[in-house]
């Protein structure tokens, strides 16, 4: 659970400024929930990939670095972990956030495919061919894992149930009192 606290300051003047201190007019604190933080991370990664594939001319070194950080994540699980954590238990999170996360993830996969296609065009030697094959294999693995969780998200059954049905479905069952148990308990205590 990583909550992110973001503080936004509205200042009297703009930067750069000749004075060393500026008066704060308004201070706003925004706290992001873990799923909102995940959405922001995916969107940020999408911007990085979009910027890289939008460069003219394309820089093969930086494109490969971005690809490696996106589809062959080795330090942490990256965006694949978000699908496991947040889509694996999607009913625990607000629907609008789950839908935004899915949309961002699908866009991420599309951008990775475009980046891989651009990288394939720029292959000149055997080392780059091997690297590209590893990137494609990593992408296929990541895509399969992410799509498995994305495809599991289904609100249709949940929407069919009325509010009363949902509360009954998730409430604890009533405990019925069995008189035969009381009779047995009384018999055992009398014989002692």
Let me know: does 82 contact 105? Beta carbons within 8 Å.
Answer: yes
- Tell me the pLDDT tens digit for each residue of 148-166: 999 998 877 665 554 555 5
- The predicted pLDDT at position 175 comes to 42
Q: Which two tokens stand for residue 151?
A: 């495809």
Count other C-beta atoms under 10 Å from residue 123's C-beta. Answer: 15
- The predicted pLDDT at position 181 comes to 47
CA 33 to chain centre: 11
pLDDT at 176 over 50: no
Q: Which residue has the higher pLDDT, 179 or 128?
A: 128
pLDDT at 187 over 70: no
Rounded to whole angstroms, the Cα distance separating 54 from 114 reads: 10
pLDDT at 173 over 50: no
- The predicted pLDDT at position 30 comes to 86
Closest CA to 67 of 9, 5, 113: 113
pTM, two decimals, is 0.73
- The predicted pLDDT at position 80 comes to 87
- The predicted pLDDT at position 179 comes to 47
- Tell me the pLDDT tens digit for each residue of 76-126: 578 888 999 999 988 899 999 999 999 999 999 999 999 999 999 988 888
* Mean pLDDT taken over the chain: 81
């Amino acid at each position: 659970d990583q909550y992110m606290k973001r503080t936004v300051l509205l200042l009297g003047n703009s930067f750069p400024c000749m004075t060393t201190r500026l008066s704060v007019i308004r201070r706003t604190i925004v706290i992001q929930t873990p799923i909102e933080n995940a959405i922001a991370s995916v969107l940020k990664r999408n911007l990085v990939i979009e910027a890289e594939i939008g460069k003219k001319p394309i820089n093969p070194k930086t494109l490969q670095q971005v690809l490696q950080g996106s589809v062959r994540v080795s330090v942490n699980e990256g965006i694949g972990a978000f699908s496991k954590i947040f889509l694996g238990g999607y009913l625990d999170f607000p629907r609008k956030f789950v839908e935004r996360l899915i949309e961002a993830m699908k866009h991420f996969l599309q951008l990775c495919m475009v980046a891989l296609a651009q990288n394939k065009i720029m292959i000149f030697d055997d080392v780059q061919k091997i690297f590209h094959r590893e990137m494609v294999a990593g992408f296929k693995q990541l895509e399969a894992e992410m799509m498995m969780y994305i495809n599991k998200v289904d609100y249709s059954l949940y929407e069919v149930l009325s509010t009363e049905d949902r509360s009954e479905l998730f409430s604890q069952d009533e405990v019925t009192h069995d008189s035969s148990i009381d009779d047995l308990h009384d018999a055992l205590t009398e014989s002692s």
